[in-house]
């Protein structure tokens, strides 16, 4: 994944209708995500040595001395935004295109939460309860279990600066720009509808990668 190029969506802007509208997807991708990429590019022009890190390692370096103080905030906000959105686009897809969690992921969910429904309930609560802007995550912990967490703004579980670290398996953007055109202030309605476009095939692949210690992008 390029640090300085906006990745294309893996589907048309209208592919997630009626749950996420085409106008929101167009603005979200071509304006918001593009801005994060452009801001990262500007920071890397000042500190080109950071290009060698790549997007995943750049995020892991947030909150450490690897990131110069002069661009620490820019990298945290925009490097985080670039990774989060690159991840987010892939865990969504056309409604009805896949079959849900794999047997292995379902077993891990059952072990950590009791059931898929209970996992969804806790995930929804984390997403709805995030004050202001941020994300909800299903992550794989170093010990092998799954955990639900949330982060503010464009932070993510890869970053050294966050409290609950792990490898992202699934993530949901709960910034207002992700849902306001269609759902207005009804964030819980957006969260509920979003499950209809979760790309479980990608989530399954993310889980398999995480079991090997690999970070999906």
- Cross-strand pairs, 140: 146, 167
Distances (CA, A) of 4 to 9, 40, 82, 193: 16, 7, 9, 32
Encode 175-191: b = buried (16+ Cβ within 10 Å), e = exposed.
beebbeebbeeebeebb
Q: Is 52 annotated as contributing to ligand binding?
A: no
Q: Is 177 annotated as contributing to ligand binding?
A: yes
Q: Is 43 exposed, middle or buried (0-12, 13-18, 19+ CB in 10 A)?
A: buried
* Closest listed residue to residue 155, CA positions, set 48, 101, 90, 82: 82
Q: Is 85 annotated as contributing to ligand binding?
A: yes
Q: Is 28 annotated as contributing to ligand binding?
A: yes
- Cross-strand pairs, 138: 148, 170
Instruction: Write out the binding residues.
Output: 28, 85, 173, 177
Instruction: Write out the binding residues for Mn(2+).
Output: 28, 85, 173, 177
């Amino acid at each position: 994944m390029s640090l300085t190029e906006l990745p294309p969506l893996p589907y048309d802007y209208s592919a997630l209708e009626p749950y996420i509208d085409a106008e929101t997807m167009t603005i979200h991708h071509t304006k918001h995500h593009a801005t994060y990429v452009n801001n990262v590019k500007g920071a890397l022009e000042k500190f080109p040595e950071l290009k060698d890190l790549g997007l995943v390692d750049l995020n892991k370096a947030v909150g450490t001395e690897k990131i110069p103080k002069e661009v620490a905030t820019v990298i945290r906000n925009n490097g985080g935004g670039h990774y989060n959105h690159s991840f987010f686009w892939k865990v969504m897809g056309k409604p009805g295109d896949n079959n849900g969690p794999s047997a292995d992921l379902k077993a891990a969910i059952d072990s950590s939460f009791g059931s898929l429904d209970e996992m969804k309930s806790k995930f929804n609560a984390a997403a709805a309860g995030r004050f202001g802007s941020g994300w909800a995550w299903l992550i794989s912990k170093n010990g092998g279990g799954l955990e639900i967490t949330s982060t503010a703004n464009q932070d993510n579980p890869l970053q050294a600066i966050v409290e609950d670290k792990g490898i992202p398996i699934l993530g949901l953007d709960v910034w207002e720009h992700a849902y306001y055109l269609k759902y207005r202030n009804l964030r819980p309605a957006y969260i509920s509808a979003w499950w209809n476009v979760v790309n479980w095939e990608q989530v399954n692949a993310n889980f398999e990668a995480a079991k090997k210690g690999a970070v999906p992008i």
